[in-house]
Structure 1
Amino acid sequence: MEIQTERLVLRQFTSSDKDIQAIYDILSDEEVNQYLPLFPLRNKQEAENYYTDRIHPLYENNSSYYFAICLKEDNQSIGYVTVNLEEGHDFGYALKKELWGNGIVTEAGLAVISEMKRMGIKYITAAHDIHNIASGRVMQKLGMTYQYSYQEQWQPKDILVTFRMYQLNLDDKKNRVFKKYWNMYAEHFIEDI
């Protein structure tokens, strides 16, 4: 599947050298990676392994959408946006830091959300580290609303993180709240934000 917006092409990653380099460029940056669960990639071989072991199986199993965010002008990946098709329909994203603040993730996210709604997905969820305020602002721009917070011992970094869980209902059940994380983690609460 490919989605186009005014500035972007959203497409699958491939095993091409160009895409492997893009994965490395995105996921090796310590600042981009600060709020992601994995450690920064150390070399291009780790990027290739990441594609082979983590991204490609999602395409084969149809268990998630994992779109490379590309600028139309060169079709070069500058980030990604994902939606897990399992229970929580977890929505995630990352972007090269030199492009932060240009509305790129919001533009890509809105296009993906529109496609999810067209496909009959009833809701999506997303969570951000409470220290990653910019990610929370993206969720709000996408129309998501804060539901609750919870603490999780995040792996493989093995750090305690407080997450804010956001949700966007794509059908007429506007009061639906996905409670899995609330029920899963003993430390959960609603913040006044």
Structure 2
Amino acid sequence: MRLATERLILRPWEDKDRDPMARIYGDAHVRRFSPKVLTVAEAHLRIDLAVERARTNGFHYQAAELKGSGELIGLIGLGVLSEVHAAICSHPRVEIGWMLAKEHWGKGLATEGARAWLDYAWSIGLLEVSACTARENAPSQRVMQKIGMIYDPTSDYENPTFGEGHWLRPGVVYRKRNPTLHELHPID
């Protein structure tokens, strides 16, 4: 799957992406709302997993590069939710997500790429896309709001990745329904 926006190419992972993405996964500030920074080996495994899940599901989080320069700035995409999200009572199926290198924050790139992925989600007939994050992750929640997602307080959850009382354990869910299909197929 390859998508293009005004400033981005959203594309499958390539071997040349491994080291730049490992630097992003290894940045403590980028990963401040995640369980930990990743080692180079762990980052490479994440890319391998993304490639495999794209092969299995038809989509997954992909490389995001700047048009023109070809610089890898992170990842944006859709993913079938993992077992970590089984704690969410409404059991959303597909999540949209992003992770960009900090030097590319505040430029609207995550929003731009996420909108392209939502358009793709609707084009393949998905009824709904969700987004999950730590309650404390206001920057990601702002992107969710900018792409028209609505906070669903009934789906707040406790992320089992974090221990009891951990400040990142409380999670929130935002949702967006397919604007053309949700009237034909209401979601309970």
TM-score by length of structure 2 reads 0.81
Structure 2 counterpart of 1:30: 28
**Retained in 1: the 8 A contact 2:152–2:173?**
yes
- State the distance in 1 between where 2:158 and 2:116 align: 30
Partner secondary structure for residue 59 of structure 1: helix
Change in 2 beyond 3 A, CA 1:4/1:119: same
- State the distance in 1 between where 2:41 and 2:157 align: 33
TM alignment of 1:51-70, pairs within 5 A: 51-52=47-48, 54-62=49-57, 64-70=59-65
**Retained in 2: the 8 A contact 1:167–1:177?**
no
Partner secondary structure for residue 34 of structure 2: coil
Alignment match of 1:114 (pick from 119, 124, 129):
119
Is 1:163 aligned to residue 171 of structure 2? yes
Letter of the structure 2 residue corresponding to residue 40 of structure 1:
V
Structure 2 counterpart of 1:45: 41
Change in 2 beyond 3 A, CA 1:101/1:153: same
Structure 1 counterpart of 2:88: none
Structure 2 counterpart of 1:154: 160
Whichever structure has more strand as a proportion of its residues is 1
Shift of residue 83 of structure 1? 1.1
Partner secondary structure for residue 83 of structure 1: strand
**Retained in 2: the 8 A contact 1:13–1:19?**
yes
**Retained in 1: the 8 A contact 2:125–2:181?**
no
Change in 2 beyond 3 A, CA 1:154/1:31: farther
Structure 1 counterpart of 2:2: 2
Partner secondary structure for residue 65 of structure 1: coil
Identity of aligned residues (%): 28
What are structure 1's unaligned runs of at least 5 residues?
179-193
Change in 2 beyond 3 A, CA 1:76/1:119: same
